[in-house]
Chain A
Amino acid sequence: MSENLFAKLTEHQLSDLAGLGCQLDGEGACLLTVPAERLLAVMKMLRDDVASSMNYLGDITAVDRGEAGFEIIYQLFSVTRGVKATVKVKVPKDKPEVPSVVSLWPGADWMEREAYDLMGVTFAGHPELKRILLDEDFAGHPLRKDFRMQPRE
């Protein structure tokens, strides 16, 4: 399935994506690594383009790569065309910020909040970027590798 999209993208949009400075990485899944500033444009293209029409945002998560910064990973599907893609954004450790995709997929709301809550990645433009699972006054972001659990007293 994923090869399907890869093929289609090569036909229609490959040049565009190349022009945007994206890499296409076809290891088992269609993986697009996108710089943060291009994320919204690429996402919008993926959602609205007829070939891909990624109308379903599956998942948003973040991975702490230590000194290499954070990776934010989006899982996209097209319910209509049956294709899927993974979009990855790398952000530096000291400034983990990506644009929010809530404007494209309203369902991204809680997923982004969760990633923010647990990993400390900021989603610029999110309507209500607050902690969701943890207390408002919780210090730190537990899924970061440098987070140390406080022993319970």
Chain B
Amino acid sequence: MTIGLEHYLAVGAMLFCIGLYGVLTKRNAVAVLMGIELMLNSVNINLVAFNRFVAPADFVGQLFAVFVIVVAAAEVAVGLALVISIYRLRDSIHVDDLNLLKW
């Protein structure tokens, strides 16, 4: 049995769902961010897998993965800064204590 694109996509899907589970069910905002990072990683797996199996001659998929990593780094930086600033204001990092979007 050869390992093909589908296998990698399946791994990506699983990782995505694991990350999503974390995002949806954790109370700690840092944990939610961690879930998001997992989801971004799963996207990268998909990108690289497609790159490898569908268009191996070029590196567009890998380049996009690099860009996703950039975005992920920026996201985690700003996200954590937000969490810290919210923690400073509210003394809590539990997302269910935060309803800033409510007005």
Q: Do chains A and B touch in the complex (CB under 8 A)?
A: no
- Give B contacts to A, CB under 8 Å: none
